[in-house]
Amino acid sequence: MNEFVKNLTAKKKIFLRKLIIFYFFYVLLEGALRKWVLPNLATEIILVRDFLVIFIIMQGFTNKLYNFNSYLEKSALIWTVLVLFWIVLQHAFIDIPAGVSFIGFRCWVLYIWFSVLIFRIFNNFNEMNQFIDKIIYSLIPISLLVLVQHYLPPEHLINKQTGTGYIFTIANDIVRVTGTFSFTFGQVQYMAFITPFFLYFILERNKQISLFIKIILSFSFLTCVFVSGARGTILYVSFMIFFALCFNKTNKSFITSSLILLPLVLICFFVFERAIDATLLRFAVSGDASSSIMRLINTFLPDMSTWRDYSTLGRGIGFAANMSRIYLGEDFRISEHESDSIIVEGGILGVIFLFIKILIATKCVSSAIKIYQNFYTALPLYLSIYFFIQILINPITKQITTHAFTFLSLGLLLVALNHYSKEKNNNYL
C-alpha cells in the first residue's frame, strides 16, 4: 500500500512539474495573446494564469505535498492568516472594493504557496536541470522576434503593445522591443529571469552540450540584450556576465564557454551598431550618473511623500496593483517603487512586509555564498542575486509579469539551495 501511495505521489509530481513548465510558457505567451490575438480579453487571459496557479496549489493540498512540519509552510501559513486578518481589518475601517482585496491577496499571499509547492515537487537537482533544459531554448524564437521588432517601424502591427497602443521608441524611430509581452517591461523581466539559467547552462552545466548549440543560444541571448533598448537589462546582464567570469569555477567547460561568449560579444558590437548607438543616446538623455544613483537609492527606500501620507492601516492591500485599476479607475496612479507601494497598501503590515523581504533576500544570498565556497557552483548565487534585485527593487506586488517570474524563481531557488543543504548535511536553507 505504501509503495502504491509513493508511486501515485511520484506521478502527481511529474504531472505538476509539467504544469509548471506550461505555466512558464503561458507567462511568456500571454502578452502575445493580449496584444495580437484577443485584445478584448486581456483580463480573462490573466485570470487563466491565476486559475492555473490555484489549481496547482489545490493539487498540492489535496495530495498532501506540502509539509506542515517545515518552517517554510508554517511561515507561509502564519503570513496568510496575518494578511487575511489585515484585509478584514481594513474593510472594517476603509471603504475599498472587495475586488481590490482579492487582487491584494493574490499578490501578497497566493503565489508564495505556489513557490513552496515548486520546491516540494522538484525532488532533486536533476529534475530542475530538466526544467532549465526546456525553458532555455525559448531564447531562440524570442531573439528572432525582438530582432524583427527592432528593424520594423514603431507603427507596425508587430510593435503593438496593449494599453498605450504602439511601442516606445529609443531614438530615431528605433523601438524598445516588447517581445511576446504586452509592454516593454515584460521583455526586461524575461531577460532578468532567464539570465541566471543561461549563464549556468552555458558556463557550468555538466551535461554535454554541442558547440553549435552553445553558439546559437549565446548569440540569441546577446541579440536580446543588444536590441533591448533597456538600460536596466544592459547593466544587469553586464554585471551578471562579469560576475560569472570572475567567480565561476575554472574547469575545461567554463574556459571553453568563455572563449565562445567573449568573441560573440565583440561580434555583436559590430552587428548591432545601430542598436548600440541608440542605446548610448538613451543613456546620455536619461541623465548623469549621480541622478541614476539617486533613482536607484529611491527604489530601495520609501519616498518621503510615502511617510507624509502614511496610514497605520494603509489604503488597502492590493490598492497599488496595476490590476486594481479595474476597480479604481484608469487615472489611478501611485509610485512605481515596490517599497512605496506595499507601505501605501498595508501601512504597518507593509513596513513588516518590507523587512521580511529584506531578511529573505539577504538570507538567500548568504546561503548561496556558502554553497559557492563549499561546492564552487554558481547557479544558487546567480538566482539569489536575481531574486535579491527582484524582491527589493522591482514592483512584484504591482506588475503581473514581474510577479510571475519572481515567484517562479523563488521556488527554483529553494530547490537549488535545498539540493546543496543535503550535501554534507549543511544547512543552507
pTM value surpassing 0.85: yes
Predicted pLDDT of residue 294 = 55
Establish if 222 belongs to a structural domain: no
- Work out the burial of residue 174: count CB atoms within 10 Å of its CB; fewer than 13 is exposed, 13-18 middle, 19 or more buried: buried
- Work out the burial of residue 208: count CB atoms within 10 Å of its CB; fewer than 13 is exposed, 13-18 middle, 19 or more buried: exposed
Q: Within the chain, what is the greatest distance between any pair of CA atoms?
A: 69
Establish if 248 belongs to a structural domain: no
More confident residue, 419 or 239: 239
Predicted pLDDT of residue 80 = 96
Predicted pLDDT of residue 74 = 94
Establish if 104 belongs to a structural domain: yes
Please give the backbone phi and psi of residue 175, each rounded to the nearest 5 degrees, phi first. Answer: -85, 160
Q: Give residue-wise pLDDT tens across range 205-259.
A: 766 778 788 889 988 998 999 888 787 888 898 888 888 877 666 555 556 666 6
Instruction: Please state the domain count of the chain.
Output: 1
Predicted pLDDT of residue 285 = 60
Of 33-37, 332-336, 359-363, 387-391, the range with the lowest mean pLDDT is 332-336
Establish if 159 belongs to a structural domain: no
Establish if 54 belongs to a structural domain: yes
- Beta bridge partners, 171, equal 174
Cβ count near 401 (within 10 Å): 24
Establish if 283 belongs to a structural domain: no
- Say what percent of the chain tops pLDDT 70: 78
Q: Give residue-wise pLDDT tens across range 7-59.
A: 667 888 899 999 999 999 999 999 888 888 887 887 888 899 999 999 999 99
Copy the grid coordinates of residue 400. Answer: 503581473
CA dihedral 130, 111, 180, 258 (to 10 degrees): -40
Rounded distance between C-alpha atoms, residue 380 and residue 358, angstroms: 18
> Which of 23, 24, 46, 26 shows the shortest CA–CA distance to 325?
46
Q: Are 212 and 221 in contact (CB under 8 A)?
A: no
Establish if 192 belongs to a structural domain: no
Establish if 228 belongs to a structural domain: no
The radius of gyration of the chain's CA atoms, rounded to the nearest angstrom, is 22
Domain span holding position 88: 2-136+290-425
> Which of 202, 236, 235 shows the shortest CA–CA distance to 219?
202
